[in-house]
């Protein structure tokens, strides 16, 4: 799924390049959110069975 998202990100970058390059803010926001999503995707790809946040919090509370 991360590969599909990667292709879609590149497609968005090419299609919206005028909007993204018009203001630095647009490009920075796009890159920041893309990297965040990519990071989450890579973590999920490498460790698909990592404990969820709720599991950790529940264990900590109990």
Alpha-carbon distance 49 to 1, whole Å? 16
Q: How far lies 55's CA from each of 4, 15, 20, 40, 42, in Å?
A: 29, 40, 39, 18, 21
Q: Which parts of 19-38 interact with other proteins (CB under 8 A)?
A: 19-20, 25-26, 29-30, 33-34, 36-38
Q: Which parts of 43-62 interact with other proteins (CB under 8 A)?
A: 43-44, 48, 50, 52-55, 57-58
The least CB distance from residue 18 to other proteins, in Å, is 10
Tell me if 45 sits within 8 A of 2, measured CB to CB.
yes
Q: Which DSSP helix (H) or strand (E) runs through 3? A: helix 2-15
Can you give the binding site for other proteins, defined by CB under 8 A? Answer: 1, 5, 8-9, 11-12, 16, 19-20, 25-26, 29-30, 33-34, 36-38, 40-41, 43-44, 48, 50, 52-55, 57-58
């Amino acid at each position: 799924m991360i590969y599909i998202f990667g292709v879609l990100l590149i497609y968005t970058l090419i299609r919206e390049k005028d909007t993204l390059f018009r203001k630095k803010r647009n490009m920075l926001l796009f890159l920041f959110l893309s990297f965040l999503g990519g990071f989450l995707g890579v973590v999920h790809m490498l460790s698909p069975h990592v404990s969820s946040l709720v599991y950790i919090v529940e264990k900590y509370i109990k």
